Amino acid sequence: MLIGEFAKRVGVSTDTIRFYGKVGFFSSSRSENGYRHYTEKDIETADLIASGKSIGFSLREILAFSQEMADGVLDHARAQESLQSKINLIDERIASLKRVRKLAQQQLDYCRAVEAQELSV
Amino acid sequence: MLIGEFAKRVGVSTDTIRFYGKVGFFSSSRSENGYRHYTEKDIETADLIASGKSIGFSLREILAFSQEMADGVLDHARAQESLQSKINLIDERIASLKRVRKLAQQQLDYCRAVEAQELSV
DNA sequence: GTAAACCTTGGAGTACGCTCCAAGGTCCAG
DNA sequence: CTGGACCTTGGAGCGTACTCCAAGGTTTAC
Ligand SMILES: [Zn+2]
Ligand SMILES: [Zn+2]
Ligand SMILES: [Zn+2]
Ligand SMILES: [Zn+2]
């Protein structure tokens, strides 16, 4: 499919798609008139970009990750090491999020308690 | 304490501290010669910035959050609503992280399986 | 054959979060 | 009173991730 349809399907602008292409994502095949072509696999890549971005990875990190997902070319030891370190990073982020969540929850509880006290006085 | 000592204690550059100050963080008290002063409370703020950043919040989001943490001035209903929405956002991020973690884990398992098969052939 | 709806490139501009000057004031030790 | 280690401001520059625009080629539809 062409860039307009592709962009609509993945929910971003055509400019953004071209930008991702420059970074190194997608199959980069063109028809004779120069128009970019996108496949279902590119849709999966776009979904991975969305996921990665939503959890705070940079486009370059996501690119490296998606290349490890492709595997086959890379040697297994390297790919496994990289995937494992990515998993460790994710675990750290989850732990961080939980810490901040706890902080927010405590503050929320505190705020409610103060409010209740104010109302009872 | 002065900016140099403060920056060292929180582990960032003095430029970064001044930048955070411009954004709106810290107590912004100065001595007569114009030097910035920082307190233990500012250390806590800096820690909050570090946590917030590590989990993908922007400085403005962290600023809003830290102001809600201060509370007292704001009305309770508003503060509670905002804290709750922040907790919901954190929960979404945790869910996203877990999804990507699962993807990575599957790929890792797959990579190991392929490697094992290659060795046995 | 021309209008509309596509596509192309390049380059400029934006917001964020720094980072690095330059030029100069302040403070303290010897 | 001079050197060195602080501090100040302002402004430039940078990497990331877009976003917008101008100028122009292609395709399809009437
Ligand atoms: Zn195609
Ligand atoms: Zn409250
Ligand atoms: Zn002080
Ligand atoms: Zn493998």
pLDDT confidence of residue B65: 84
pLDDT at B121 over 80: no
Q: How far is the CA of B36 from the C1' of C22 (A)?
A: 21
pLDDT of residue A96: 85
CATH topology for B1-74 is Multidrug-efflux Transporter Regulator; Chain: A; Domain 2 (1.10.1660)
What is the CA B107 to chain-centroid distance, rounded? 30
Residue of A97, A118, A121 to mutate for B, most B C-beta atoms under 10 A: A97
How many CB atoms within 10 Å of residue A60? Answer: 10
Does A120 score more than 90 pLDDT?
no
Which contiguous run of DSSP H or E holds residue B36?
Answer: strand B36-37
Least confident of A22-36, A54-68, B38-52, B67-81: B67-81
> For A37-81, what is each residue's pLDDT tens digit?
999 999 999 999 998 888 788 999 999 988 877 765 567 888 888
Q: Is the pLDDT of residue A111 over 90?
A: no
Return the pLDDT at B71. Answer: 63
Task: Give me A4's structure tokens.
Answer: 């307009």
Q: Alpha carbon B117 to chain centroid distance?
A: 44
Cα separation of B29 and A94, whole Å?
Answer: 36
Mean pLDDT on B106-114: 88
Closest Cα in chain A, distance from residue B14 (Å)? 25
Alpha carbon of B84: minimum distance to chain A alpha carbons (Å):
7
Region A11-29: mean pLDDT is: 96
CA A111 to C1' D14, in angstroms, rounded, equals 42
State how far the Cα of B120 lies from the Cα of B106, in Å rounded to an integer. 21
Alpha-carbon span A118 to A112, nearest angstrom: 10
Q: Are the CB atoms for B55 and B93 separated by under 8 Å? A: yes
Minimal-distance CA residue of chain B relative to A72: B111
Instruction: Work out the average pLDDT over B9-31.
Output: 96
Q: Which of A105, A16, A83 is nearest to B80 (CA)?
A: A105
Report the pLDDT averaged over residues A7-20.
97
Q: B75 versus B83: which is more confidently predicted?
A: B83
Question: Which of A45, A68, A89, A100 is the mutation pick for testing B, counting most B CBs within 10 A?
Answer: A100
Dihedral pair phi/psi, residue A55, rounded to 5°: -105, 15
Calculate the average pLDDT of chain B. 90
**Domain range annotation of chain A:** 1-74, 76-121
Q: Does A96 touch chain B (CB under 8 A)?
A: yes
- Chain A residues lying within 8 Å of B103, measured CB to CB: 48, 51, 69
Beta strands in chain A (DSSP E): 29-30, 36-37
Instruction: Please report which confidence band the pLDDT of residue B74 belongs to, taking 50, 70 and 90 as the band edges.
Output: low
Average pLDDT of chain A to the nearest whole number? 90
Q: Is B76 on the interface with A (CB under 8 A)?
A: yes
Stretch B71-100: mean pLDDT: 84
